[in-house]
Homo-oligomer: A and B are copies of this chain.
Amino acid sequence: MTAAAEPVEDLYPTRAVRESVPFARRHPVVWGTEADGPLDAGELAAFDRDGFLSFEALLSAEEILGCLEETERLGRDPEMRASGRVAPEPDADGIRSVFEVHAFSEVFARVVGSARLADVARQLLGSEVYVHQSRVNLKSAFDGSKFGWHADFETWHSEDGMPAPRALSFSVALTDNQPVNGPLMVIPGSHRTFVPSVGETPADYHKLSLLGKALPAGPADRTVVTELALNNGIQQLTASAGSAVLFDCNCLHASAGNVSPFRRTNLFVVYNSVDNTLGPPFAAPAPRPGFLADRRFTPVPRR
């Protein structure tokens, strides 16, 4: 018999608030040191300051092709579809996202477990890490829909019970991310500010959210986004296939829809610290399914 866990204090109140009053992040951005891993002091300082880093040629051509083929296969797979892991484009035919790809494909499992990604995550988070979420965002040619401004941590905290912003995401380009096909946009330095979202979380909110329905809960407050963008600017992060952007879980980001004839397909991998595992949601009636927020917390083995 184990003792009941102490309730974790909510240091990032959101959703059940009357207005969005942003406040300074209450935890570090960089938890490790130069001695811990592949990033040098300059890279650590840049991530600390900006909230993101770019990596050239992280995947080989063979890995890129393998991931694209596996995305096709998993997107068509009847069990994946029936389980809710395949999210459709909100206003068109086609697929917007496929979730938990590393659990259903050896190709994705190898990328997600590779030292190229995981060692960076371990260094920045200063601990062992596990995969909180993986997915492929497909953003179809012509019809790919937008992602509005948000910081992932706001959702993971309120809906998944993630205590602190001690997680990060790799967005690995599987096709070229160009200025014309809806590349990632970030507000540099925004990861240092927590922006509460106004609006109660309805039951089963992730189902609406995956359908691309805009609701008050989740999106960052527009006045705050505007102010941060005017102060810090907006950086558009293009990347050739195989390159990647790594960003802090509290970094405000968005991307425009894709009207170009060139699809924009990215693998998105979220690593969380094993010292920051999930509890009950801080501001939602029930936890989200495991394919959106893994609750097994299995550390990625060191390779």
Tell me the A residues contacting B by CB distance below 8 Å: 141-142, 146-149, 179-180, 182, 185, 222, 225-226, 229-230, 234, 236, 254-262
Contact = CB atoms under 8 A, between A and B. Distances in A.
A282 B148 CA distance: 41
A229 B148 contact: no
Nearest to A261: B226
Given A146-B257, A257-B257, A229 B182 contact: no
A253 to B, nearest CB: 10
A237 to B, nearest CB: 11
Count chain B CB atoms within 10 A of each CB in A146, A149, A180, A257 and give the residue with the most. Answer: A180
Nearest to A145: B257
A214 to B, nearest CB: 9
B229 A261 contact: yes
Given A179-B236, A180-B234, A236-B179, A229 B260 contact: yes
A256 to B, nearest CB: 4
Nearest to A262: B229
A149 to B, nearest CB: 7
A105 B149 CA distance: 36
Contact of A255 (B182, B230, B254, B259): B259
Nearest to A142: B222
A222 B185 CA distance: 26
Contacts of A257: 146, 256-257, 259
29 contacts: A141-B222, A141-B226, A142-B149, A142-B222, A146-B257, A147-B259, A148-B259, A149-B259, A149-B261, A180-B185, A180-B234, A180-B236, A180-B256, A182-B256, A185-B259, A185-B260, A222-B261, A225-B261, A226-B261, A229-B260, A229-B262, A230-B261, A234-B260, A254-B260, A256-B256, A256-B258, A256-B259, A257-B257, A257-B259
Nearest to A229: B261
Given A141-B226, A180-B234, 17 more contacts: A142-B149, A142-B222, A147-B259, A149-B261, A179-B236, A180-B236, A182-B256, A185-B259, A185-B260, A222-B261, A225-B261, A229-B260, A234-B260, A254-B259, A256-B256, A256-B257, A257-B257
A122 to B, nearest CB: 33
Contacts of A180: 185, 234, 236, 256
Contacts of A259: 146-149, 185, 254-257
A151 to B, nearest CB: 15
Nearest to A146: B259
Nearest to A227: B261
A229 B259 CA distance: 12
A141 B229 CA distance: 12
A226 B129 CA distance: 42
